[in-house]
C-alpha cells in the first residue's frame, strides 16, 4: 500500500485575521477540525480567532466562532450529581465514585462481567477513546462496549475495508480536492455541516462540476446549481440504484478505465453482472433521477479525470445511514473504481467524517469488535500484541460485544447489561427508535453519565460526573484526512471537574484492578503508540513533540513511514494482493415501505447552527436563536393535502412515535419526502420516528428513511 509521504502544499484562500498570542488548538465540533487560537485568561473573557491551516484555510463556521460561549454557559456541570429520592442532587466525588464502584462489583458478582456496559463517543480525544477501550476490557473485563460513531461512519468504514482493505475517511489530504474540476457529493451537505470545507469545492463549482446527490435541495446542492452543476434529487434509500445506474452508463458509454480495471482491481465481472441489469431507465424509475442527469454526472467525472486529473466521489451520512449502507457505499466505490479514480493522483474516493474525532475515535478500541490500531478483537495476533502492551493475559481479554443499538436495546433485559456508563454521547436524543432506548435506560439498575452539560441522557442518569470541556484538556484528535492534531489546554476547569482519565483510573483502583491506568494524556498517548504499532492505523512514529513542532502527520506513521502517509493507495491497495476489490451488491431500498396510512418518507439531517444531538449548541444563545424551533420541511402540495400551511404546528407520525414541529413549506422538496433535523429532544425529537433496522455488516441503523404521515396540531 504505498503512498505519498510528501506534505500537501500550503493552501491558498482568503486571509485570516492576524494571529494573536494565545493557545493554538482546534475546534470542538466536526471532523474538519478547523484550526483556531484561543486568547484570554478565563472562560469569561476567552475569545476565538481562526488560524491558517490546510483544512479550514483561515475560516470558521458559526459554531466555531461561538465555541467559547459553551465554556461559560450557565448550564455547565461543576459538581457530581447522585439521584436521591428520585432527584439528582449534588454529591462529593467520593460518594459518587463509591456508588458507581459498588454497583459495578455487586452487578458483576451477581450477573457476570458483561452485566456492566460502556457507551463512548466520537468526540473523545484519542487518548480517552483508547483508555476507555482499555478500561472496559481490562478493568471491567466486559465485552459490552460500543460508541455513537457506530451511527456515523460504520457503513463507509466497512465498505472501505471491503474494497480497499483499509478505512480512512479521506485517503488523501482535503486540499487535493481543491484542484478538482468535478466532485460528486453523496448525501453530503457541507454548506451547513462544515462550511469551511466549501473552500475546497470552489474550483469544481466554478467549473460547473459540483454535483450533489441528495433528496433535498440543500444549500450545498443550490451552490452546485448556481455554478452550472447538478442536483441528483433521488428518493431516500435509493442510493444504490443510482450508483448501479451510473455504473451501467460508465461502462456502456465508454467512460470506464479498462486499463486501471485490469491492472489494479479484481472482481469487475461479478459487479458488471449486476450493473448490466440496471439500465439507466430502470434506475430513473426507482430513484426519480433523470437519465440525462445521471449521464451528465458520469461524463462530468470522466471528463475531469481525463483532462485535469481532478475528479472525486465523496460519500457522507445521507448515503450511509441506511440498513443497506455498506452495500450502497460499496456500489459507489465500484463506480469510482470503474472510472479509475481511487489510488491515482488528483482523483479518488473518500468519505466526509462527521464527528470531531470520528476517525480517531473508531481506531483505538471503542468499537465492540476492535482493539487499538484498528485491529480486530478476534484476531489472535492482535490480542497478543495489545495484551502485551497492557500487561495482561490475552485469554483474559473479552471477545466482540454488541453493536451500539443492540447494546442499548438489551439494557435491563435478561442476559443484558444492568449498569451502563456513558461518555461523550446523548443516546436519548441521538439513538434510532429513541423511545425504545429511553425505556431501556430506565430499566437499568444504574446509569452513569460523564458530561459537562446536563444532556437529556444525563438528566435521567443515577450518577452524573462533571468532566472537562475541550479547551480545558490536552490531547490529540484525528481529523477526516487521518491527520493527527494536538488539542491544547487554554484554561483551567472548575475545581470540581475531572478528566475521564482520572475517573477511569480511580474506578479501576476501587474495583480492585491492579493494571495501571495513567491520568497524564501524554503518557496515555505513548502507550497508544505502542498498542497501535503494526496495526492498520499505526501511530507509533507520531509524538506530541513532533506535533507541537508543527509537523503534519497522517497515519500510518511508523518506522517504515516516519513522515506519515497523506496519500494512500498510489502504488497498491491494502489488500493481500494489492488490488482494489469490486464487490457485487444490489439495490435493496428502505426497510419500511410507505403506504396509505404513512404515505411520506421522512429523512433526517443537520442544520447550520447545531451539532449532533444539540446538547451543546442549544446552550449557545446565538445559535439557538438563529436556528429557531424544531421544524419539518414539506412541499406545498404535501402541506395542503394535510391541511397545513407555512408556520403551522404539525405532528410527524411514524409507526414508532411522533415528533412535533413547525411546518416550513419548501417548493424545492420532493412531494413524497419530508425533512426533519435531529438536534432537539422531548416532543421535538426526530429519532422518535426513525427505524432501528440494522445493516448486516456495519450494524448501522436506518436513520435516513422511514414512513410517516402529517397531522395538524390545533
Residue 8 is assigned to a structural domain of this protein:
no
The x, y and z cell numbers of residue 449, run together, are: 453519565
Domain endpoint, select from 283, 317, 352: 352
Mean pLDDT of 32-59: 95
Residue 8: pLDDT over 50: no
Quick one: which of 485, 481, 11 has its CA closest to 201?
11
Give the separation between CA 560 and CA 538, rounded to whole angstroms. Answer: 10
Quick one: which of 144, 35, 154 has its CA closest to 694?
154
The x, y and z cell numbers of residue 124, run together, are: 473523545
Whole-number pLDDT of residue 714: 82
Residue 12: pLDDT over 80: no
Q: Tell me the three-class secondary structure of 495-532, residue by residue.
A: CCCECHHHHHHHHHHHCCCCCCCCCCHHHHHHHHHHHH
* pLDDT tens digits along 654-695: 999 999 999 999 999 999 999 999 999 999 999 999 999 999
Residue 21: pLDDT over 80: no
Q: CA-based Rg of the chain, rounded to a whole angstrom?
A: 24
Residue with grid cell 433526517, as numbered in its chain = 604
Whole-number pLDDT of residue 635: 98
Residues 486 and 606 in one domain: no
Give the separation between CA 93 and CA 106, rounded to whole angstroms. Answer: 20
The x, y and z cell numbers of residue 59, run together, are: 475560516
Residue 23 is assigned to a structural domain of this protein:
no
Residue 238: pLDDT over 50: yes
Residue 593 is assigned to a structural domain of this protein:
no
Residue 2 is assigned to a structural domain of this protein:
no
Residues 425, 148 contacting (CB under 8 angstroms): yes
Mean pLDDT of 269-282: 98
Residues 348 and 401 in one domain: no
Residues 337, 371 contacting (CB under 8 angstroms): no
Q: Specify which residues 376 forms β-bridges with.
A: 370
Whole-number pLDDT of residue 14: 31
Q: Specify which residues 3 forms β-bridges with.
A: 568
Give the separation between CA 566 and CA 707, rounded to whole angstroms. Answer: 42
Residues 501 and 617 in one domain: no
Residues 160, 153 contacting (CB under 8 angstroms): no
Domain endpoint, select from 302, 330, 352: 352
Give the separation between CA 281 and CA 288, rounded to whole angstroms. Answer: 10
* C-alpha distances out from residue 512 to 141, 515, 613, Å: 12, 9, 36
What three-state secondary structure class fits 383?
helix
What three-state secondary structure class fits 216?
coil
Residues 195 and 283 in one domain: yes
Whole-number pLDDT of residue 15: 33
Give the separation between CA 199 and CA 178, rounded to whole angstroms. Answer: 7
Residue 3: pLDDT over 60: no
Looking at the chain, the whole-number percentage of residues with pLDDT higher than 70 is 97
The x, y and z cell numbers of residue 171, run together, are: 485517503
Residue 694 is assigned to a structural domain of this protein:
yes
Dihedral, CA of residue 37, residue 40, residue 46 and residue 52, to nearest 10: -10
* pLDDT tens digits along 418-445: 999 999 999 999 999 999 999 999 999 9
Whole-number pLDDT of residue 459: 98
Residues 313 and 294 in one domain: yes
Helices 521-532 and 380-390 pack at an angle, to 10 degrees, of 150
Residues 6+ apart with CB under 8 A from 96: 80, 81, 82, 463, 465
Whole-number pLDDT of residue 353: 86
Q: Terminal CA-to-CA distance of the chain, rounded, Å?
A: 62
Give the separation between CA 699 and CA 406, rounded to whole angstroms. Answer: 9
Residues 345 and 459 in one domain: no
Residues 397 and 507 in one domain: yes
Domain endpoint, select from 299, 322, 352: 352
What DSSP element (H or E) covers 586? Answer: none
Instruction: Give residue 312's domain range.
Output: 154-352
Residues 559 and 522 in one domain: yes
Q: Residue 1: which pLDDT band, with cuts at 50, 70 and 90?
A: low
Q: Residue 605: which pLDDT band, with cuts at 50, 70 and 90?
A: very high
Give the separation between CA 117 and CA 151, rounded to whole angstroms. Answer: 18
Whole-number pLDDT of residue 356: 86
Mean pLDDT of 108-135: 97
Residue 120 is assigned to a structural domain of this protein:
yes
HSE, side-chain direction, 13 A CA sphere, residue 255 = 24
**DSSP code of 199?**
G
* C-alpha distances out from residue 707 to 312, 522, 596, 600, 703, Å: 33, 49, 10, 6, 11
Residues 411 and 558 in one domain: yes
Residues 278-290 as b/e (b if ≥16 CB within 10 A, e otherwise) read bbbebbbebbbbe
Mean pLDDT of 15-30: 72
* Whole-number average pLDDT of the chain: 95
Give the separation between CA 403 and CA 699, rounded to whole angstroms. Answer: 7
Residues 619 and 649 in one domain: yes
Residues 486 and 393 in one domain: yes
Residue 10: pLDDT over 50: no
CATH of the domain at 691: 2.40.40.20
Cis, peptide link before residue 556, omega less than 30° from 0: yes
Whole-number pLDDT of residue 321: 95
Mean pLDDT of 309-331: 96
Residues 452, 473 contacting (CB under 8 angstroms): no
Residues 295, 331 contacting (CB under 8 angstroms): no
Give the separation between CA 293 and CA 281, rounded to whole angstroms. Answer: 12
Residue 609: pLDDT over 50: yes
Residue 384: pLDDT over 90: yes
Judging by beta carbons within 10 Å of its beta carbon (0-12, 13-18, 19+), is residue 292 exposed, middle or buried? exposed
Dihedral, CA of residue 332, residue 348, residue 572 and residue 377, to nearest 10: -60
Give the separation between CA 253 and CA 622, rounded to whole angstroms. Answer: 51
Residue 45, number of CB atoms within 10 A of its CB: 11
Judging by beta carbons within 10 Å of its beta carbon (0-12, 13-18, 19+), is residue 110 exposed, middle or buried? exposed
Give the separation between CA 490 and CA 507, rounded to whole angstroms. Answer: 27
- Please state whether beta strands 3-4 and 567-568 pair in parallel, antiparallel, or not at all (unpaired): antiparallel
Residues 6+ apart with CB under 8 A from 21: 39
Residue 413, number of CB atoms within 10 A of its CB: 11
Q: Which of 213-227, 348-362, 505-519, 560-574 is predicted least confidently?
A: 348-362
Domain count within the chain: 3
Q: Which of 250-259, 305-314, 515-524 is predicted least confidently?
A: 305-314
The x, y and z cell numbers of residue 638, run together, are: 404535501
CATH of the domain at 272: 3.40.228.10
Q: Specify which residues 553 forms β-bridges with.
A: 484
Residue with grid cell 427505524, as numbered in its chain = 691
Residue 16: pLDDT over 80: no
Residues 370, 532 contacting (CB under 8 angstroms): no
CATH of the domain at 132: 3.40.50.740
Give the separation between CA 184 and CA 312, rounded to whole angstroms. Answer: 6
Residue 184 is assigned to a structural domain of this protein:
yes
Residues 241 and 382 in one domain: no
Whole-number pLDDT of residue 309: 75
Residues 249, 292 contacting (CB under 8 angstroms): no
Residues 650, 710 contacting (CB under 8 angstroms): yes
Amino acid at each position: 500500500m504505498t503512498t505519498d509521504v510528501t506534505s500537501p502544499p500550503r493552501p491558498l484562500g482568503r486571509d485570516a485575521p492576524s494571529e494573536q498570542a494565545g493557545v493554538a488548538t482546534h475546534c470542538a465540533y466536526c471532523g474538519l477540525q478547523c484550526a483556531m487560537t484561543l486568547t484570554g485568561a478565563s472562560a469569561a473573557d476567552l475569545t476565538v480567532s481562526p488560524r491558517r491551516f490546510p483544512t479550514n484555510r483561515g475560516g470558521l463556521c458559526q459554531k466555531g466562532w461561538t465555541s467559547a460561549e459553551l465554556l461559560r454557559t450557565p448550564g455547565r456541570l461543576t459538581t457530581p450529581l447522585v439521584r436521591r429520592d428520585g432527584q439528582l442532587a449534588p454529591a462529593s466525588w467520593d460518594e459518587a465514585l463509591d456508588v458507581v464502584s459498588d454497583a459495578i462489583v455487586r452487578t458483576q458478582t451477581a450477573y457476570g462481567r458483561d452485566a456492566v456496559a460502556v457507551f463512548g463517543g466520537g468526540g473523545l480525544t484519542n487518548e480517552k477513546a483508547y483508555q476507555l477501550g482499555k478500561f472496559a476490557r481490562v478493568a471491567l473485563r466486559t465485552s459490552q462496549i460500543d460508541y455513537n460513531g457506530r451511527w456515523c461512519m460504520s457503513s463507509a468504514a466497512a465498505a472501505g475495508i471491503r474494497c480497499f482493505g483499509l478505512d480512512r475517511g479521506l485517503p488523501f489530504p482535503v486540499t487535493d480536492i481543491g484542484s478538482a474540476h468535478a466532485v460528486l457529493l453523496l448525501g453530503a451537505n457541507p454548506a451547513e455541516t462544515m462550511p469551511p470545507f466549501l473552500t475546497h469545492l470552489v474550483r469544481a463549482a466554478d467549473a460547473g462540476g459540483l454535483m450533489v446527490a441528495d433528496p433535498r435541495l440543500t444549500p450545498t446542492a443550490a451552490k452546485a446549481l448556481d455554478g452550472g452543476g447538478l442536483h441528483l434529487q433521488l428518493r431516500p434509500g435509493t442510493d444504490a440504484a443510482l450508483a448501479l445506474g451510473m455504473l451501467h452508463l460508465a461502462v456502456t458509454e465508454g467512460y470506464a478505465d479498462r486499463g486501471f480495471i485490469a491492472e489494479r482491481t479484481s472482481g469487475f465481472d461479478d459487479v458488471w453482472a449486476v450493473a448490466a441489469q440496471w439500465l439507466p431507465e430502470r434506475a430513473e424509475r426507482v430513484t426519480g433521477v433523470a437519465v440525462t442527469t445521471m449521464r451528465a454526472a458520469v461524463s462530468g467525472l470522466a471528463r475531469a479525470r481525463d483532462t485535469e486529473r481532478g475528479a472525486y466521489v465523496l460519500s457522507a451520512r445521507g448515503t450511509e445511514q441506511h440498513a443497506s449502507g455498506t452495500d450502497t457505499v460499496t456500489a459507489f466505490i465500484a463506480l469510482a473504481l470503474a472510472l479509475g479514480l481511487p489510488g491515482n493522483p488528483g482523483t479518488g474516493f473518500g468519505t466526509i467524517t462527521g464527528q470531531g474525532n470520528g476517525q480517531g475515535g473508531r481506531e483505538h478500541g471503542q468499537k465492540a469488535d476492535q482493539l487499538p490500531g484498528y485491529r480486530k478483537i478476534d484476531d489472535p495476533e492482535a490480542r497478543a500484541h495489545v495484551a502485551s502492551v497492557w500487561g495482561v493475559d490475552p485469554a483474559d481479554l473479552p471477545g466482540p460485544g454488541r453493536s451500539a443499538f443492540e447494546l442499548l436495546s438489551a439494557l435491563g433485559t435478561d442476559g443484558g447489561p444492568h449498569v451502563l456508563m456513558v461518555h461523550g454521547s446523548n443516546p436519548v436524543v441521538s439513538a434510532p427508535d429513541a423511545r425504545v432506548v429511553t425505556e431501556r435506560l430506565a430499566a437499568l439498575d444504574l446509569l452513569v453519565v460523564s458530561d459537562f452539560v446536563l444532556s437529556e441522557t444525563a438528566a435521567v442518569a443515577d450518577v452524573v460526573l462533571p468532566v472537562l470541556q475541550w479547551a480545558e484538556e490536552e490531547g490529540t484528535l484525528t481529523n477526516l484526512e487521518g491527520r493527527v492534531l494536538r488539542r491544547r489546554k487554554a484554561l483551567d476547569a472548575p475545581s470540581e471537574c475531572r478528566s475521564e482519565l482520572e475517573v477511569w483510573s480511580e474506578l479501576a483502583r476501587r474495583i480492585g484492578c491492579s493494571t495501571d491506568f495513567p491520568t497524564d494524556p501524554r503518557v496515555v498517548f505513548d502507550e497508544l503508540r505502542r498498542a497501535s504499532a503494526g496495526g492498520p492505523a499505526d501511530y507509533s512514529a507520531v509524538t506530541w513533540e513532533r506535533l507541537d513542532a508543527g509537523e503534519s502527520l497522517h497515519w500510518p506513521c511508523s518506522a517504515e513511514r516516519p513522515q506519515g502517509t497523506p496519500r494512500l493507495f498510489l502504488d497498491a491497495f491494502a489488500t493481500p494482493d494489492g488490488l482494489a476489490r469490486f464487490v457485487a451488491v444490489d439495490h435493496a431500498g428502505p426497510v419500511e415501505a410507505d403506504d396509505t396510512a404513512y404515505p411520506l418518507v421522512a429523512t433526517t439531517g443537520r442544520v447550520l447552527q447545531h451539532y449532533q444531538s444539540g446538547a451543546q449548541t442549544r446552550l449557545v444563545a446565538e445559535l439557538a436563536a438563529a436556528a429557531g424551533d424544531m421544524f419539518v420541511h414539506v412541499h406545498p402540495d404535501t402541506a395542503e393535502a394535510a391541511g397545513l400551511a407555512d408556520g403551522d404546528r404539525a405532528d410527524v407520525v411514524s409507526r414508532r412515535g411522533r415528533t412535533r414541529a413547525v411546518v416550513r413549506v419548501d417548493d424545492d422538496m420532493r412531494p413524497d419526502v419530508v425533512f426533519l433535523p435531529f438536534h432537539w429532544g422531548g416532543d421535538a425529537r426526530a429519532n422518535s420516528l426513525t427505524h432501528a433496522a440494522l445493516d448486516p455488516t456495519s450494524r448501522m441503523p436506518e436513520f435516513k428513511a422511514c414512513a410517516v404521515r402529517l397531522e395538524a396540531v390545533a
